[in-house]
Structure 1
Amino acid sequence: MRVKKSKAGFLSGSTGIESVPGPKLPEIDFLNRFNEENQKKYAEADARFKSSPLLKEFLERSNINKEKNRKETQDKYCIRGAEWGVGDCSAEAMSPEDKEKFISELKEKAGVK
């Protein structure tokens, strides 16, 4: 099988037309005023949204869920570490009875069966 080489043109390494700045367009007062009015409306709508009680409630719930999920993950890894005998929750130095009791207490505290 023979591979055909492609040949690049003599302009292949030069910059394209997109690098040339275009002409300055005329500014139209009507469009400028329209744009300013719209920007003001958008800023007011953003301010109303950011101060809405619904958004505040959602942010508060989100923070509560974030903390709850962090605690659940921490408990899960502590239980796993105790079972495997590694990490901060390791129960490796305990007797088998104490180890089982410790792990069951961890699971009870975390709400795991």
Structure 2
Amino acid sequence: MCQLMIGSKAGFLSGFPGIESVPGPELPSVEFLNRFNEENQKKYAEADARFKESPLLKKLLEKSKLNKEKNKQETLDKYCIRGAEWGVGDCSAEGMSPDDREKFIAMLKEKAGVK
């Protein structure tokens, strides 16, 4: 009986919009602050545009792109070596003789620059 009453009260109040749906009062606008804000926004936009066109940023973005490609290849090489050692994956040396397997793994490590 008690659960039924709680449920009916929740159902009755669940459609109530709440205080957050009531708009707040309109605040006065201060012209000086509006002008100051607009000037700052223009300065920031100009500085952003200059920064995006700067040679330093272009150089750093290119370096980042090259590093991403290099790091990706290093990761692939690392997993290939691990797969060869464990005998799983695309670089598996499972069907090779022990001597060929060691040569293959050494070749992978040399190619990857791993000691």
Per the TM superposition, whether the score is higher than 0.5 is yes
Cα deviation for residue 52 of structure 1 reads: 0.9
Partner of 1:101: 103
Cα deviation for residue 17 of structure 1 reads: 5.9
Distance in structure 2 (CA, Å) of the matches to 1:28 and 1:110: 64
Consecutive unaligned residues in structure 1, runs of 5 or more: 1-13
Partner of 1:86: 88
Distance in structure 1 (CA, Å) of the matches to 2:53 and 2:18: 48
Partner of 2:29: 27
Consecutive unaligned residues in structure 2, runs of 5 or more: 1-15
Partner of 2:38: 36
Residue 37 of structure 1 aligns with an amino acid whose one-letter code is E
- Percent identity, aligned pairs only, is 80
Residue 71 of structure 2 aligns with an amino acid whose one-letter code is N
- TM-score where L is the length of structure 2: 0.79
The alignment of Structure 1 onto Structure 2 pairs a total of residues equal to 103
Task: Kindly indicate which of the two structures has a greater share of residues assigned to helix.
Answer: 2
Q: CA RMSD in A?
A: 2.0
Cα deviation for residue 93 of structure 1 reads: 0.7
Residue 57 of structure 1 aligns with an amino acid whose one-letter code is K
Residue 72 of structure 1 aligns with an amino acid whose one-letter code is E
Partner of 1:11: none
